[in-house]
């Protein structure tokens, strides 16, 4: 009896990825497994067929030979023993279910010491510090390699041996039905090593707590949300493994005068009624000191003035932003009787000429009048 096409057996196309092949195999193997179909010879035969197709199509060399020559290109007896016919069922399913249960195929090298954890340091800066840049000293509590045992965890003169229970893997396999799962080794607690004579300083951990003092250069132009990476300044790795990194997370405090938006700065500048009406020169603050700003006559409150190049230099492109000044006319307070009288005289002098002196107000009230006329018509 001729064999079916392996792709047809698994229900996948010839361009299927290895992941798609594994997914199809897992679904069909669960469907036809003899444990789920006791005494069903057809299910057992289907299971053998599915397993054979999977083993061929997940082996790069065998798959290439099969794609070129069909069944003649691969040994028909290889992997054909099926369930109970040679290969350990736990080994067969290791690659398929490993991502679910944390396991894989048995074997492989000993457990590698884990790289140290990355650390985060929150650094708060003033606007001036962020704009100009500076060098900061940071005190960072972390784990460093023990200098007494050179990070091995073993007392000087003693040695570290592989765990006899897990043979250095850090995990042991547990069987549950036809599933094989990996669990942390109860003897070495996942380390893969046994230290019979631990270091008296780090108690066998290979690392000790320490507060490091680091000098960090903060580039000019950083802003809230920017992050500076210091390679190798995180926690020390296990038993001599590489250290993690330290990430300095920047936050810029609110400023009493300026608001930053990217590379631009904004501020509000109060001006008097007389300056707004007649014009004049006023002093405007910048991060580099005061500058003079010319206010033209008849300036309305809320008008924006741009001072080019007085913003922030970008930390990435080195382009310099602008300072945008919004002028706000300030109503005078605590007036004397004479001042009030002068204002009344000034107000009276405008009578009959509102369109000339206050075009916006005149237009607004004309619009209000028309609104009520239309409402009542």
DSSP state of 111: P
Is 325 annotated among the ligand-binding residues?
A: no
Cα distance between residue 210 and residue 134, in whole Å: 25
Is 163 annotated among the ligand-binding residues?
A: yes
What is the token pair recorded at 255? 């400023």
Is 166 annotated among the ligand-binding residues?
A: yes
> Residue 365: which H helix or E strand, with range?
helix 359-376
Of 215, 193, 214, the residue nearest 204 (C-alpha)? 193
Determine the Cα angle at 346 with ends 341 and 350, to 5°: 145
Is 149 annotated among the ligand-binding residues?
A: yes
CB 265 within 8 Å of CB 233:
no
Packing angle between helix 41-57 and helix 60-69, nearest 10 degrees? 100
Cα distance between residue 101 and residue 152, in whole Å: 31
CB 204 within 8 Å of CB 154:
yes
Is 202 annotated among the ligand-binding residues?
A: yes
Cα distance between residue 136 and residue 311, in whole Å: 23
Cα distance between residue 190 and residue 167, in whole Å: 11
Distances (CA, A) of 267 to 257, 264, 272, 311: 6, 10, 17, 11
What is the token pair recorded at 372? 């009520």
Is 146 annotated among the ligand-binding residues?
A: yes
Determine the Cα angle at 67 with ends 62 and 72, to 5°: 70
What is the token pair recorded at 76? 């028909």
Q: 88: buried, middle or exposed (CB in 10 Å: 19+, 13-18, 0-12)?
A: exposed
Cα distance between residue 196 and residue 160, in whole Å: 7
Of 280, 283, 276, 324, the residue nearest 300 (C-alpha)? 276
Binding-site residues for Zn(2+), in ranges, read 146, 149, 163, 166, 185, 188, 199, 202
Binding-site residues, in ranges, read 146, 149, 163, 166, 185, 188, 199, 202
């Amino acid at each position: 009896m001729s064999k079916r096409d392996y792709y047809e057996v698994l229900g996948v196309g010839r361009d299927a990825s290895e992941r798609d092949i594994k997914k199809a195999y897992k679904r069909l193997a669960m469907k036809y497994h003899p444990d789920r179909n006791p005494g069903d010879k057809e299910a057992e035969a289907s299971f053998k067929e599915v397993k054979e197709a999977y083993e061929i199509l997940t082996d790069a060399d065998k798959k290439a030979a099969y794609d070129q020559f069909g069944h003649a290109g691969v040994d028909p007896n290889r992997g054909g023993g099926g369930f109970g016919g040679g290969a350990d069922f736990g080994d067969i399913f290791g690659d398929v279910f490993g991502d679910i249960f944390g396991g894989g195929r048995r074997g492989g090298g000993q457990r590698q010491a884990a790289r140290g954890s990355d650390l985060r340091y929150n650094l708060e800066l003033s606007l001036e510090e962020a704009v100009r840049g500076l060098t900061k000293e940071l005190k960072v509590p972390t784990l460093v390699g023990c200098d007494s045992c050179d990070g091995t965890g073993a007392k000087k003169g003693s040695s570290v041996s592989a765990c006899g229970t897990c043979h250095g893997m850090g995990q042991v396999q547990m069987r549950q039905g036809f599933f094989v799962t990996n669990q942390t080794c109860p003897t070495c607690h996942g380390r893969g090593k046994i230290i019979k004579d631990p270091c008296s300083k780090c108690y066998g951990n290979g690392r000790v707590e320490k507060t490091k003092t680091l000098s960090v250069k903060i580039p000019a132009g950083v802003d809230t949300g920017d992050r500076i990476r210091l390679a190798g300044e995180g926690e020390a790795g296990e038993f001599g493994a590489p250290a993690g990194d330290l990430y300095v997370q920047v936050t810029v405090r609110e400023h009493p005068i300026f608001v930053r938006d990217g590379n631009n700065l904004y501020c509000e500048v109060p001006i008097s009624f007389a300056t707004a009406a007649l014009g004049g020169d006023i002093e405007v603050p910048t991060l580099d000191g005061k500058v003079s700003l010319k206010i033209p006559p008849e300036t309305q409150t809320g008008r924006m003035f741009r001072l080019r190049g007085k913003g922030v230099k970008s930390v990435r492109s080195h382009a310099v932003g602008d300072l945008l000044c919004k002028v706000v006319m300030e109503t005078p307070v605590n007036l004397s009787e004479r001042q009030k009288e002068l204002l009344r005289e000034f107000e009276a002098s405008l009578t009959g000429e509102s369109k000339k002196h206050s075009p916006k107000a005149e237009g607004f009230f004309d619009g209000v009048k028309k609104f009520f006329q239309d409402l009542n018509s």
